[in-house]
A and B are shown apart, each in its own frame.
Chain A
């Protein structure tokens, strides 16, 4: 155990986390150079493109230190978005230390701070690493000053590196060995293993990613998942070398995987504790939280013939994403589809993108919603996350919406702008603290519905990237709600309806009309778009029709060329949903809630 080191790399977006991981992997010789692919841990296209990590990944790096001893370094990569903050917390809980990566040119950024606090919460050893020192604009002295003043860490403990050029990587590996403490734990104790991730393998079923804190787990053991109270027989355990390497057992301190004949990843929960069935531990490890969807939207195939294929694809997709939930649904405007639950808006966008890319589907998502609670006059309580099921307004006794407690951290100078944003989002009960000079922590309660959409983006924009944000759902609170309908050429499009706070209905109706005007391309007819609450039109806009759209010359040589162009346009039109005679593009359904600044 004394030569194991479990660590994570945390960084603001684009500060070079994946590149540093790549270099460490190469340095340790885990992957032959000819097989090497950049951003090896970000193995989804979306992750590479967006520059964010969506799923946690773990990799085991064998390293011979300058002291001549061999070490096992387990790198646990973490997702980088507030939608996945729970997953991050479980990954960090599985480590003893972190590399806190800071861009030498950009310096300390919001996420740097947010991540630092999260690492501190878990009592981790923090090694600041100043990356990109090769850049002409690098200012290492300034970053060191920030490490001291803004992070409260010892700047002389930081390590300079250029992950791109591979300089400083060995010093970082040495620091991991010598500064991060080895894991503690008793291999003979009752088994206590935390699940920090799971992925689906078509041949082996669910592969649990875990960290053993106490005890030992061996092939053939019967394990118990403490929260779900299910038992499974261990088929294989091993470590995250590349490729995976089977081992006889995993003991206290180890990071590795377990294969136990579990069919889907939905059968295990991140953060759950694994113990042995015959010698169980009394209490699970702390920190478990059930992962619950907070944002809901319906998915429809653009061509109704594709419904079966969508159903099959969702089933397959679900195998690998436990936090995604879905059930059948139908819409008058959009036909047969599925109602789905997501961890947040980024999660929703990722699911949409992956369905389109990996399953080659053309889909439409309805306007996302949170889950509201209605108490009817007869005392019945309804949870509604789909505006299509909005109860008859006359039958509603009370309506309530979910509230969150948001924690934000940002430099003091942005206080006014952030407070203004929070007030716009109906924030209340705010509390301020000053964790370090010049830096504010604001805790405030806000309705989730106002936060899911563009709050995070808005915060980032007004704080110029220095604002960090995290939230917990706290409770339901009474709220005056109405159903906002959207009419396109007089026809109500149910998939565009939203449940909104009465006080913001007019403004939301206007915004929806404006967004749709931007998203719906001009067509042959004038298109009237209206927002309505309870039959009363509260906003309207029109998209004027094409006036001139014809090729001037069309003779022998132009005909094939023009036909190909039209075929392409027709194909593009197929990716839009026909509602009556109006073609509505996919993007319109999501864009409807976005505000001006995003």
Chain B
């Protein structure tokens, strides 16, 4: 259980129509932001003994040049003891990359790249409000591969209104042709606060129905597993167990993490806190030498238990019953015996060696599974 660090870089050149992550479209504040994030990390110096992941997410971290990124990474190294094999991930927008930029990124010590491809279908890219083309994505993938990155992940989206299974499978096959180490396949979520969410509420767009979404999900899993990938979390696939995102897995098993930057979330084991969702406010607080925390919560055992249940059931590793009972004082097998039996009969979970594993069909309804 070695903790991880997340850095939120809240800048985008334009907002995508579906995204509700926090970001601003003006890049003016980038220098101030970097100053502040360096100050914020000082505040947490000594918080944990060791870290073994660093994740630069956004926003669009690739809007920062490699010198700016190096400044952040160096700052982190000064404040926190990083393991020698630390996984350092950056999210990049395909439009921001070229061969040279990819090489500079590699030199900063970043060893994992997550590329926001989303689709190889131009109609879908434009529907989603992406500012790059599929050609951009292809050359970005080639550039990072050529720059020497050995752990590349592609992010894709399915279940877009108007998208049929065929279009999605084409995108998926195209992605597979690059043999990426990692694939994230997200069903489009129509968040109420986004332009697409508002269109949906107004009845202007018609997302695929549940049966079709189920088809997308199952077909994706089948194709990728047949291609040698492990479906290790609802939306995540790794070409080999070593390529499973070490950082993201911390979120799913209650490993502590420190989040830096506006809107970033941190977790200590029983406390979760999050920063102001506003760059200006964030900078202001940090300059006042105040932790820029908007709110924090202490989780009760019951809340931790519910989280552990729903997070665990999102992953192929499922729930280790003994571990669960020790950490959350709850004997699942004993207390939920009847319903677990039914879920097993229905082929939604398997229970083996004191573990509950969701099956593929189980993963597809893992939110409901956690309400047992």
Contact = CB atoms under 8 A, between A and B. Distances in A.
Interface of A: 523-525, 545-557, 559-560, 562-563, 566-567, 569-570, 573, 581
Nearest to A563: B307
Given A556-B251, A581-B342, A551 B263 contact: no
Interface of B: 6, 21, 186-189, 210-211, 213-214, 217, 234-235, 248, 251-252, 257, 259, 263-267, 272, 274, 297, 303, 306-307, 310-311, 314, 338-339, 342-343, 346, 348, 361, 363-371
B364 A547 contact: yes
Nearest to A562: B310
A270 to B, nearest CB: 48
A138 B266 CA distance: 63
B83 to A, nearest CB: 20
A549 B365 contact: yes
Contacts of A559: 251, 265, 267, 272, 307, 311
Contacts of B363: 550
A528 to B, nearest CB: 13
A562 B213 CA distance: 20
A551 B367 contact: yes
Given A553-B189, A554-B252, A556-B264, 14 more contacts: A548-B213, A548-B214, A549-B365, A550-B234, A552-B187, A553-B186, A554-B234, A554-B251, A554-B311, A557-B21, A559-B267, A560-B272, A566-B310, A581-B338
Given A559-B311, A563-B307, A566-B371, A548 B210 contact: yes
A569 B339 contact: no
Contacts of A560: 265, 272, 274, 297
A581 B339 contact: yes
A547 B347 CA distance: 12
Q: Is the interface of A mostly helix, strand, loop or mixed?
A: loop
Nearest to A523: B368
B313 to A, nearest CB: 9
Nearest to A564: B303
Contacts, number: 100
A525 B210 contact: no
A550 B361 CA distance: 11
A566 to B, nearest CB: 6
B6 A563 contact: no
Contacts of B367: 549-551, 566
Contacts of A554: 234, 251-252, 311, 314
Nearest to B372: A524
A468 to B, nearest CB: 40
B52 to A, nearest CB: 16
A523 B369 CA distance: 10
B158 to A, nearest CB: 9
B358 to A, nearest CB: 10
B312 to A, nearest CB: 11
Given A547-B211, A549-B365, A525 B346 contact: yes
Given A524-B365, A548-B364, A550-B314, A555 B213 contact: no
Contacts of B251: 554-556, 559
B101 to A, nearest CB: 25
Nearest to B297: A560
Given A525-B346, A559-B265, A548 B314 contact: no
Q: Closest 9 interchain pairs by CB?
A: A547-B214, A556-B265, A552-B186, A548-B214, A552-B187, A549-B365, A548-B213, A550-B366, A549-B368
Contacts of A552: 186-189, 234-235
Contacts of A525: 342, 346
A566 B186 CA distance: 20
Contacts of A566: 306, 310, 367, 370-371
Nearest to A546: B365
B185 to A, nearest CB: 9
Contacts of B235: 552-553
Contacts of A548: 187, 210, 213-214, 217, 364-365
Contacts of A569: 371
Contact of A563 (B213, B310, B339, B361): B310
A298 B188 CA distance: 46
Contacts of A550: 234, 314, 363-367
Nearest to B303: A563
B248 A555 contact: yes
Nearest to B338: A581
Nearest to B273: A560
A573 B372 CA distance: 10
8 contacts: A548-B214, A548-B365, A550-B234, A552-B186, A554-B234, A556-B265, A563-B306, A581-B339
A547 B365 contact: yes
B212 to A, nearest CB: 9
A523 B371 CA distance: 10
A573 B303 CA distance: 17
A545 B235 CA distance: 21
Contacts of B342: 525, 581
Contacts of A553: 186, 189, 235
A562 B313 CA distance: 14
Contacts of B368: 523-524, 546, 549
A158 B86 CA distance: 89
Q: Counting chain A CB atoms within 10 Å of each CB, which of B307, B348, B368, B370 scores highest?
A: B368
Nearest to B158: A552
B233 to A, nearest CB: 8
A524 B346 contact: yes
B226 to A, nearest CB: 21
A551 B252 CA distance: 13
